[in-house]
Each structure stands twice: as C-alpha cells, then as structure tokens.
Amino acid sequence: MSGEDPILHAQQAYYEARAAEYDEWWLRRGRYDRGPALNQTWFEEAAEVTDALRTFSPRGAVLELACGTGLWTQRLAKTADRLTAVDGSPAMLALNAARLKDARVRYVQADLFTWKPDARYDVVFFSFWLSHVPENRFVAFWDLVRRALAPGGRVFLVDSRREAGSQALDHRLPAPDAEVMTRKLNDGRQFEIYKRFYAPGDLEARLTALGWRAEARETARFFLHATATRVA
C-alpha cells in the first residue's frame, strides 16, 4: 500500500466504494446533474477532449494508469495494439472488464504509488488521476511514467479544472492552497482524498524541469488535457 499516508488509504477506499456509482459523475446524473445548460457544456467540452485524444492516436502498446470503470479504456482499445489497464480498485477493474469484454486488455490490480512497470509502452495514458497525486509524490509519479515509456514514447493525460460545477452538488472544492478535500458517496459516507488542480503553464513548467517536453491545454470551463514526451 501507499506507505503510512492515511489520506492515500482513504482515497483508495473511497474509489473502491464509489465504483458502482462512478459513472454518474461523467454522465451528469444524480448529484452531478447541473441542469440542461451546464450539462450540455460539459458534454461538449468532453467531446473536445475526446477529439484531442483521437488526434493524438494512441497506438502500439498502451498503458492506462488508474483506468477506473473503462470510460477511457474503451476509447484506447479502438487504436491500441496491446493495452494494459492498471487500477488499485478491484471493483473498478471488474466494471472495466465487464464494459469492454476485450481479451486484448490485460488488467493489473496494483497501488500506483508502489507499482513497478513490467514492460515498456509506446503510450502512457491517465485520466483524472494526476489531480489525486499529492505534492510530495509528484516527482516520483512522473519517474514511474518515464520508466514505463519505450524510447520515443508519448503521454496523454486528462484532468479537471478547478470548477465547482464539475463536482457533486454536495461537494466543496478545497482552498486554492490546500490539497485535501472531503468527498461523499450517495449513501452519505465521507472520505478525505487528495485533489490538486493545475494551470496549463504551471504543469508545463513543472514537467520541463523534470526533463519533459509538454503541451497543456484547457477547455473553456471543465477540463485540462496535455501531451508529453521525454527530452532526448
């Protein structure tokens, strides 16, 4: 597990417990329904990010970190020759496998803060994960990504902007200088998790300092997406 960090333990427990209701967030249902106008903006911006991934064209051997229920795994499977999907939650992995029903996908249940890649990949992809990496593990996480990439490999990531409308109606964003927020499930249980937000320029600068060439962009309201390659 992730050392002795109680927030990371709570974060893992939260996503295991949330697995069955996770897609409500992406589909804007239940506590995530913000009304027709804002929901439409969400779906239009989600389509922008999907188009950016399609243009990026994740081919060859692809690794997806924090694969969740398969919302993005199903997109990666359209172009990948081989696909490895890693997540810390058995419940998430079960839902992912049930959604894809694709024998080409290799599933790995592992703590991403301790997992060591057993192969090298042409593409590493992760969605809505970097924001859950605490500040003191940022460098180590990007070292994991580096070790997972084959020479000439590429990274594509998707994440959230700091936007209250992205959250459940009963969630509150952390203060700008904080990295822990409280999340609730439909049954009222509460968990503390890490949640950090990145501006494109800040993320590019931090990755440049670690030896990456990165380009990050935002949609108008909800999403951040970025590509990165190692500097030779």
Determine the longest span between alpha carbons in the chain, in angstroms: 50
Task: Quote the pLDDT of residue 2.
Answer: 60
Condensed to tens digits (0 to 9), the pLDDT of residues 133-185 reads: 999 999 999 999 999 999 999 999 999 999 999 999 999 998 988 999 999 99
* pLDDT given for residue 214 in this prediction: 98
pLDDT top residue among 176 and 7: 7
Domains, the chain, with CATH or none? 6-230 (3.40.50.150)
pLDDT digits (tens, 9 = 90+) for 61-109: 999 999 999 999 999 999 999 999 999 999 999 999 999 999 999 999 9
Place of tokens 């300092």: 209
Integer Cα distance of 101 and 107 in angstroms? 12
- What per-residue confidence (pLDDT) applies to 4? 83
74 close to 54: Cβ distance less than 8 angstroms: no
- Whether residue 83 contacts residue 21, with contact meaning beta carbons closer than 8 Å, is answered with no
Helix axes 90-100, 6-18, angle to 10 degrees: 40
C-beta separation of 228 from 154 below 8 A: yes
pLDDT (0 to 100) of residue 161: 97
Distance CA(4)–CA(67), nearest Å, equals 24
Residue 1 has pLDDT above 70, yes or no: no
What is the reported pLDDT for 68? 98
